[in-house]
A and B are shown apart, each in its own frame.
Chain A
Amino acid sequence: MVIHVNGEQRELSNDIQTVSDLLNHFELANKKIIVELNANIVDSSQHEEITVQDGDRVELVHFVGGG
Chain B
Amino acid sequence: MQERYSRQILFDGIGEEGQQNLQKKHVLIVGAGALGTGNAEILTRAGVGRITIVDRDYVEVSNLQRQQLYTEHDANDRIPKSVAAQKRLREINPDVEVDGKIMDVTVEEIDQLVSNVDLIIDATDNFDIRFLINDVAQKHRIPWIYGGCVSSYGLSFTILPGETPCLNCLLETIPLGGATCDTVGVIAPAVQMVVAYQSAEAMKILVEDFEAVRRKLVSFDLWKNEQSAIDVSRLKKEGCPSCGTSQTYPYLSYENQTKTAVLCGRNTVQIRPPKKVNRDLNALVTQLENQGGAIEQNPFLVSYQSEDRRVVFFKDGRVLIHGMKDIVEAKKIYHQLLG
A residues 40-58 near B (Cβ < 8 Å) are 41
Q: A66 to B226, Cβ gap below 8 A?
A: no
Residues of A close to B130: CB separation below 8 A: 65
Name A's interface SS.
loop
Take A32-B178, A59-B230 as given contacts and tell me if A67 and B149 are in contact as well, using a CB distance cutoff of 8 Å: yes
CA distance A34 to B231 in the complex (A): 10
Q: A7 to B227, Cβ gap below 8 A?
A: yes
Q: B148 to A64, Cβ gap below 8 A?
A: yes
- Across the interface, name the chain A residue whose C-beta is closest to B182: A66
B161 at the A interface (CB under 8 A):
no
Q: How far is the CB of A34 from chain B (nearest CB, A)?
A: 6
Q: A6 to B219, Cβ gap below 8 A?
A: yes
Q: Interface size class for chain B? A: 35 or more
Residue from A31, A34, A65, A67 with most neighbouring chain B CB atoms (10 Å): A67
Residues of B close to A30: CB separation below 8 A: 177-178
Q: B228 to A6, Cβ gap below 8 A?
A: yes
Q: B34 to A6, Cβ gap below 8 A?
A: no
Q: How far is the CB of A25 from chain B (nearest CB, A)?
A: 14
Q: B175 to A65, Cβ gap below 8 A?
A: yes
Q: Of the candidates B36, B180, B232, which one forms a contact with A66 in the assembled complex, judged by CB atoms under 8 Å apart?
A: B180
Chain A binder among B74-82, B102-110, B119-127, B273-281:
B119-127
Residues of A close to B31: CB separation below 8 A: 67
Q: Interface size class for chain A? A: 20 to 34
A60 at the B interface (CB under 8 A):
yes
CA distance A62 to B127 in the complex (A): 13
A1 at the B interface (CB under 8 A):
no
- Across the interface, name the chain B residue whose C-beta is closest to A58: B228
A21 at the B interface (CB under 8 A):
no
Q: B33 to A67, Cβ gap below 8 A?
A: yes
Q: How far is the CB of A3 from chain B (nearest CB, A)?
A: 13
- Across the interface, name the chain B residue whose C-beta is closest to A40: B234
Residues of B close to A32: CB separation below 8 A: 171, 175, 178
Q: Of the candidates A7, A59, A60, A65, which one forms a contact with B148 in the assembled complex, judged by CB atoms under 8 Å apart?
A: A65
B170 at the A interface (CB under 8 A):
yes
**Which residues of B come within 8 Å of A, CB atoms?**
31, 33-36, 122-127, 130, 147-150, 153-155, 170-171, 175, 177-181, 186, 194, 217, 219, 221, 224-232, 234-235, 264-265
**Which residues of A come within 8 Å of B, CB atoms?**
5-8, 30-32, 34, 36, 39, 41, 59-67
6 additional A-B residue pairs with CB within 8 Å, beyond A61-B219, A65-B127, A67-B147? A6-B226, A62-B155, A66-B180, A66-B181, A66-B265, A67-B122
Chain A to chain B: the 8 pairs with minimum beta-carbon distance, closest first: A6-B226, A66-B150, A6-B228, A67-B35, A59-B228, A32-B175, A66-B181, A64-B148
